[in-house]
């Protein structure tokens, strides 16, 4: 029986060769927002190894929107030029489509890199900066109190998303994903835990969705009609009284009405009080529920590590795509190994084609067997 995981999928004019996605993974290795050769290596190794789509990490639309000083950004020409070089490298040697995840960290910005503990820097620290949010509610005790965004601040950030989108067009990305998950700015507006505004951007679910939907509209208008635009959400906050699956379904319906092409269904990240029930495929049910209730394409993510597990998710209709992160860090050739296990075909860079199991035992090119 043919593998469903390795069937192509169309997102507007973009056809992915299979349903396996390399999820955005922060590398904390940029310099002043500009990606480095580490990113060339990181993204390039996946681009040549057969996934349908490779996402660049969460990339700040302004300097203050980065999670850490080591996070990538897309607000100046130097960053754009380096990203273009990396994208052209991936496309020139690879066989995957390339996507960008645009983000703003909001009140969770100005942090140290994870391997140094990840604590938030004070605004006057040499590596820190002041943070913003929907309201002046800190993420946790000891964290900065964010400046509540006023109309001018909201307009500035929305324009920053538009400007970064225009840079994405020039770079040549195939897909954009807006990061509205994990407790970063756009999810901060969605969740009642972090959004306690009393104006048109707070209070009711409709009001809390307003700014994220405004940003989506602005990006959609700046992004070519023929190219897909999706959104990563935190399907639930994992906190009583927080953002719920029912809220996510309502939000997904609103996004679908605005021509959103897919929902990437993650969860959590907006409160240190979260109580996550983690395990293999623990977020897949969210993707299934949102897909069933709204009809929008979904991407399942979260502890999806095995080929047959991923195949079952797609074959059973729980999601249209699966995204892996740590699985690819552990095994950059996950797609090749999955294809072999599922008796499917995956793209190989010609330089690596002789590593395919079907080529084992054959003479090494350029070293034919000695005639008898």
Helices 334-342 and 307-315, axial angle in degrees (round to 10) = 70
d(CA 324, CA 341): 17
Q: What is the pLDDT of residues 226-276, one digit of tens each?
A: 999 999 999 999 999 999 999 999 999 999 999 999 999 999 999 999 999
Q: What is the pLDDT of residue 350?
A: 85
69-85 average pLDDT score:
98
Which range, of 191-205, 226-240, 247-261, 335-349, averages the lowest pLDDT? Answer: 335-349
**pLDDT for 54:** 98
Number of other CB atoms surrounding residue 264 within 10 Å: 28
Find the helix packing angle between 151-171 and 77-93, rounded to 10°: 40
- Other CB atoms within 10 A of residue 254 CB: 18
User: Counting Cβ atoms within 10 Å, is residue 2 exposed (0-12), middle (13-18) or buried (19+)?
Assistant: exposed
Q: Kindly indicate the confidence band of residue 355, based on its pLDDT and cuts at 50, 70 and 90.
A: confident
What is the structure's pLDDT at 351? 86
Contact 117, 197 (CB under 8 A): no
Q: Is 119 helix (H, G, I), strand (E, B) or coil?
A: coil
Residue 36 burial (CB < 10 Å; 0-12/13-18/19+)?
Answer: middle
pTM: 0.95
Q: What is the pLDDT of residue 364?
A: 65
pLDDT score recorded for residue 348:
85
Per-residue pLDDT at 366: 61
* Gap between the Cα atoms of 82 and 170, Å rounded: 12
Confidence (pLDDT) at 349: 84
**Residue 324 pLDDT > 70:** yes
Distance of alpha carbon 188 from alpha carbon 243, whole angstroms = 10
Predicted confidence at residue 335, as pLDDT, reads 97
- What is the three-state SS of 145-186? CCEECCHHHHHHHHHHHHHHHHHHHHHCCCEEEEEECCCCHH
Task: Note if 173 is an active site residue.
Answer: no
% pLDDT > 70, the chain: 97
The distance of Cα 266 from the centroid of its chain, to the nearest Å, equals: 10
92-117 pLDDT tens trace: 999 999 999 999 999 999 999 999 99
The string of pLDDT tens digits covering residues 117-156 is: 999 999 999 999 999 999 999 999 999 999 999 999 999 9
Q: Give the three-state DSSP class for 333.
A: coil
What pLDDT sits at residue 84? 98
Using pLDDT thresholds of 50, 70 and 90, give the confidence band for residue 356: confident
pLDDT value at 372 more than 70:
no
Q: How far apart are CA 372 and CA 365, in angstroms?
A: 19
What mean pLDDT, rounded, does the chain reach? 95
The fold adopted by the segment(s) 17-359 is: TIM Barrel (3.20.20)
Q: Given 93, 184, 201, 352, which residue is catalytic?
A: 184
Q: What is the DSSP string of 91-140?
A: HHH--SEEEEEEE--GGG-SB--GGGT-PBPPTTSTT----EESSS--SS
Model confidence at 365: pLDDT above 90: no
Strands (E), 20-158: 20-22, 53-60, 97-103, 132-133, 147-148
pLDDT exceeds 60 at position 301: yes
Which pLDDT score is estimated for 22?
98
């Amino acid at each position: 029986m043919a593998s469903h995981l390795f069937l192509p999928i169309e997102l507007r004019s973009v056809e992915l060769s299979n349903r396996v996605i390399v999820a955005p993974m922060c590398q904390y290795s940029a310099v002043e927002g500009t990606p480095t050769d580490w990113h060339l290596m990181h993204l390039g190794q996946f681009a040549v190894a057969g996934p349908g789509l490779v996402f660049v990490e969460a990339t700040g639309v302004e300097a203050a929107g980065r999670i850490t000083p080591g996070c990538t950004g897309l607000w100046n020409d130097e960053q754009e030029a380096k990203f273009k070089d990396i994208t052209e490298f991936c496309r020139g040697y690879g066989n995957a489509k390339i996507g960008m995840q645009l983000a703003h960290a909001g009140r969770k910005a100005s942090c140290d890199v994870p391997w140094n503990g990840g604590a938030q820097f004070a605004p006057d620290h040499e590596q820190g900066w002041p943070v913003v949010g929907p309201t002046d509610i800190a993420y946790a005790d000891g964290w900065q109190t964010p400046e509540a965004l006023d109309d001018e601040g909201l307009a500035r950030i929305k324009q920053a998303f538009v400007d970064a989108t225009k840079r994405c067009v020039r770079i040549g990305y195939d897909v954009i994903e807006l990061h509205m998950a994990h407790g970063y700015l756009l999810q901060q507006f969605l969740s009642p835990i972090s959004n306690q505004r009393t104006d048109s951007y707070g209070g009711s679910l409709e009001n809390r969705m307003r700014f994220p939907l405004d940003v989506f509209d602005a990006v959609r208008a700046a992004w070519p009609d023929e190219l897909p635009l999706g959104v990563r959400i935190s399907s639930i906050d994992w906190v009583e009284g927080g953002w719920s699956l029912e809220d996510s379904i309502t939000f997904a319906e609103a996004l679908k009405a605005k021509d959103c092409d897919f929902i990437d269904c993650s969860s959590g990240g907006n409160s240190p009080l979260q109580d996550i029930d983690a395990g293999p495929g623990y977020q897949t049910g969210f993707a299934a529920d949102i897909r069933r209730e709204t009809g929008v394409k979904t991407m399942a993510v979260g502890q999806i590590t095995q080929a047959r597990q991923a195949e079952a998710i797609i074959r059973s209709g729980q999601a249209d795509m699966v995204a892996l992160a740590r699985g690819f860090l552990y095994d950059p050739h996950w797609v090749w190994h999955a294809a072999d296990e599922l008796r499917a075909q995956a793209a190989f860079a010609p330089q690596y084609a002789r590593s395919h199991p079907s080529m084992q035992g054959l003479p090494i090119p350029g070293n034919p067997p000695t005639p008898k």
